[in-house]
Amino acid sequence: MRITTVALALFALAPLGGCTGTGNVLHYQLRHEYGVHDPQFPLTMGSLLGPALLPGNKVDTLVNGDRFFPAMLDAIRAAKRSVNLETYIYWSDTIGAEFTDALVDRARAGVKCHVLIDALGSLKFNAKDVDRMKAAGVHFRRYNPPKWFDPGALLAVDHRTHRKLLIVDGRIGFTGGAGIADEWRGDADSPHHWRDTQFRIEGPAVAQLQAAFADNWVQETGQVLHGDDYFPKLAPAGDHWAQVFASSVRGGSESMLLMFLLSLTAAERDVRLAHSYFVPDATTIRALLEARKRGVRVRVLTVGKITDLPVVRRASRAKWGELLKAGVEIHEYQPTMYHCKTLIVDGLWVSTGSANMDNRSFRLNDEANLNVLDPKFAAEQERLFDADLAKSRRVTYEEWESRPLGEKLLEGAARLLEWQL
């Protein structure tokens, strides 16, 4: 769902002669010193990167649109004080109309509703729906709209919000990989219904989710959201230790990359990566190869031939050689578009949310991931991963090496766009 962003960014940056606009890329140097079961790991993730992992959370896993859309809509319809929604994709289609109706109803009832959608990712959200929202009292903004007659602003078209955040009454939160569009409806039961997961959160980490939304809202509007309507006192709701980790170009976007690298460097036994857009940079590849040298089993589950953006798949496949040769297992999901974004390390640590393993998520987009340190939650995510793996096809090094010359040429060309993917 990123073709518009990529195309416009390439147009804007063409005069730069191929400069990435990201400046000097640091090659982080990390070595394995402790695992995810060591108390040092959560301390590092909370102190070095922040915010802290908090106890007392309840995180429910909602698999595919048939489960997460009703849960999200039920939460909005039950809102009493506030609804905050930030997303990259919000389209005026069937499910989009249901969300718009729910938000309009709550705003008319006096609930404070704020909607922040990406100006490029949500181009298919029409003006009629915007007018309906505003007339009902919804505070609505498009994130970083292109300013076509401002060359400096046009060059900033690369900076998008890719976050998927819904916070209701400051007490219930949702995040994951899904946008609001009909492609996410159903149960991954056809090529037109995508495979994705969302998460429902209660407990102290909801305030971190709210803070991520509030930060982008104040950046776009100048309006500071505070008080009990947005940040009520939150009692423990479960036994999950959780952290909402947000990154932004404005605040050092490579912090998301560092979070992934620290997670991979801590691995001692097992890494499972589920990523729809898997285009790892040299530093990430090195971390995966170092994990293999330590004897870590590494499995990658990514998109197959059914994809919304073939150029990303080609750029991904161009980079698989040394990973496959080192024993990294790479599998392509077959039934439909695979849009999940989850990292599971050693049956304890899970990072899931909006961030892909690619340059766009690490250096260009605003992203937000939910991190959970819990063996039962990790086991649940492993079961989902394994179920998806059973519907996937493993690619061997021999198959990859012997692919037709035409494919190699197309993949090589796609790699030239890696900085945008």
- Which of the residue ranges 216-230, 252-266, 271-285 would you say has the lowest mean pLDDT? 252-266
Q: Quote the distance between the C-alpha of residue 288 and its chain's center.
A: 20
- Residue 95 near residue 69, CB atoms below 8 Å: yes
Residue 285 CA to residue 331 CA, distance in Å, equals 17
The active-site residue, picked from 159, 275, 341, 374, is: 341
- The C-alpha R_g of the chain, in whole angstroms, comes to 21
Query: Is 240 part of the annotated catalytic residue set?
Result: no
Tokens for 198? 């969302």
What is the rounded average pLDDT of the residues 131-149? 91
Tokens for 11? 């147009």
Query: Is 408 part of the annotated catalytic residue set?
Result: no
pLDDT band at 417 (very low <50, low <70, confident <90, very high): confident
Compute CA distances 415 → 5, 320, 358, 382, 418, whole Å. 17, 12, 12, 31, 5
Residue 21 CA to residue 15 CA, distance in Å, equals 12
What is the rounded average pLDDT of the residues 267-288? 96
Tokens for 114? 């704020």
**DSSP string covering 315-359, please?**
HHHTT-HHHHHTT-EEEEE-SS-B--EEEEETTTEEEEES--BSH
pLDDT band at 252 (very low <50, low <70, confident <90, very high): low
The active-site residue, picked from 339, 358, 374, 388, is: 339
What is the rounded average pLDDT of the residues 272-289? 95
Domains with residue ranges and CATH for the chain: 3-17+26-420 (3.30.870.10)
pLDDT value for 16: 31
* Average per-residue pLDDT for the chain: 91
pLDDT value for 20: 33
> What is the pairing mode between strands 270-275 and 341-345?
antiparallel
The active-site residue, picked from 37, 112, 159, 162, is: 162
**DSSP string covering 90-142, please?**
B-SSHHHHHHHHHHHHHHHTT-EEEEEEETTTTTTS-HHHHHHHHHHT-EEEE
3 state SS of 302: strand
Residue 393 CA to residue 207 CA, distance in Å, equals 40
Tokens for 403? 């692919």
Compute CA distances 192 → 181, 259, 261, 337, 339, whole Å. 11, 33, 34, 8, 12
Query: Is 139 part of the annotated catalytic residue set?
Result: no
pLDDT value for 19: 31
pLDDT band at 406 (very low <50, low <70, confident <90, very high): confident
The active-site residue, picked from 169, 196, 358, 366, is: 169
Query: Is 164 part of the annotated catalytic residue set?
Result: yes
Count how many residues are written for the chain. Answer: 421
Query: Is 339 part of the annotated catalytic residue set?
Result: yes
The active-site residue, picked from 118, 346, 358, 374, is: 346
pLDDT value for 251: 66
DSSP class of 49: I
- Tens of pLDDT, residues 149-199: 666 555 567 789 999 999 999 999 999 999 999 999 999 999 999 999 999
What is the rounded average pLDDT of the residues 3-7? 47
pLDDT exceeds 70 at position 23:
no
- Residue 411 near residue 274, CB atoms below 8 Å: no
Query: Is 162 part of the annotated catalytic residue set?
Result: yes
What is the rounded average pLDDT of the residues 380-409? 94
Q: Quick one: 408 exposed, middle or buried, by C-beta within 10 A (0-12, 13-18, 19+)? A: middle
